[in-house]
A and B are shown apart, each in its own frame.
Chain A
Amino acid sequence: MPDWTPPTPVNLVDLGFMDSRSKLIDLAAFLDRVQKAGQDGDFRVQALKNALTLLSQDKPQRAKDVLLSFSDPSTEPIAKATMQGAIGAFKA
């Protein structure tokens, strides 16, 4: 394989700001909506709120840390699969 050629620098803020802004407002509105409905005690909402605290860290590995925060931390196989799907957040 030939060597890695890095991409030509482009303005990533121009490319991504509006999309990120829109997603952030959608997230804010989601948290408002579930709170008003009294559903913010759901473990999935708590997992989201927990993940939000990871966004203000300085290291550029926020996506990885958010994914880790949603992950099952255990290491042993479970006895039996009782469902086929996944929920999106680990419930201890």
Chain B
Amino acid sequence: MNYIEPHGHMVSRTTDDYERMALAGCQAICEPAFWAGFDRASADGFYDYFRQITEYEPKRAAKFGIKHFSWLCINPKEAEDTKLAEEVIALIPQFIDKPGVLGIGEIGLNKNSRNELAIFERHLQVAQDYDQLVLIHTPHLEDKLKGTRLIVEALKNFPKIKPERVIIDHVEEHTIDHVLDHGFWAGITLYPESKCTPNRAIDMLEHRHAERIWMNSACDWGVSDPLAVPKTMQAMRHRGWTPEMIQRVAWDNPKAFMGQCEKFTL
């Protein structure tokens, strides 16, 4: 069955991974801008990174028949340095109209600091000014609950950004209701140890009737699995899901969210 990987950091993955994903039925990969496993020394590093995710990765994906899309920002892990963050934000307009760019992301919080929050709001302003979709990263582990609440509060200051044009990613059992009940989309990340297993993801999908939810592998530079989405689709079959409902989560939902940007075509 075909699927969309709505959140993968392919700059950290091998070309073999593209091949394996294509063989598993992946038709499109969406790459949010994020930390690359190390802190970049200057805005120049981000300029090259933006070129990599908007120009080079789409070509690498195309060799396997996969469409590649991207999101732009400075991630919260590197946003404590607000001067650097402002320089990177200033680069966004020259990339925003590139063919595969879907919006601003993955912005959000990491340690829930004042500077991270200020830079998160700066990005929301850019998204509002340029009428962009928004993809939000929530913090890890013990910081997730607080960060998710702060993010939802901050979004209330940007009434022109409609909740249905925002996805809040990496939700778990203690944050998913807060996100969906405020009208946002929610992303479930299938990632070893720090995030969610296939069975827990399916539990949450059943709890919320799979509405306004996508699932992703967030495969990156860490120990992670680029095939986590098709493996979870297999687990859904074991748990009695109909092919139509599996398709809803793995295809229809990410297509519905990202299809709000006219550049997302399959």
Chain A interfacial positions (CB closer than 8 Å to B): 1-2, 4-10, 12, 15-16, 61, 63-64, 67-68, 70-75, 77-90
With A10-B240, A79-B113, A81-B115: A5-B245 Cβ-Cβ less than 8 Å: yes
Question: Contact: B172 with A84, CB < 8 Å?
Answer: no
B154 closest partner in A (C-beta) = A77
Is A70 touching B111 in the complex (CB atoms < 8 A)?
no
Chain B contacts for A16, CB-based, 8 A:
199
**Chain B residues with Cβ under 8 A from A71's Cβ?**
142, 144-146, 174
Contact of A9 (CB < 8 Å), options: B111, B200, B240, B242: B240
Q: How many residues of B contact A (CB 8 A)?
A: 42
Query: Which listed segment binds A: B8-16, B19-27, B204-212?
Result: B204-212
Residues of B73-112 at the interface with A, using a CB-CB cut-off of 8 Å, are 77, 80, 110-112
Report if A12-B141 is in contact (Cβ < 8 Å); known contacts: A7-B245, A63-B200, A81-B111.
Answer: no
Question: Are A72 and B240 CB-contacts (below 8 A) given A5-B245, A80-B115?
Answer: no
Q: Are A64 and B174 in contact (CB under 8 A)?
A: yes
Q: CB distance B248 to A89 under 8 Å? A: no
A92 to B60, CA, bound (A): 47
From B200, B203, B242, A5 is in contact (CB under 8 Å) with: B242
| A4/B211 contact (C-beta < 8 A), A9-B240, A71-B142, A88-B141 known | yes
Assess the B211–A72 pair: CB atoms within 8 A. Answer: no
A73 to B112 CA separation, bound complex (whole angstroms)? 12
- Report which of A63, A82, A89 forms a contact with B173, defined as CB distance below 8 A: A63
The one of A68, A74, A89 that contacts B174, using a Cβ cutoff of 8 Å? A68
- Whether B140 sits at the interface, judged by CB under 8 Å, is yes
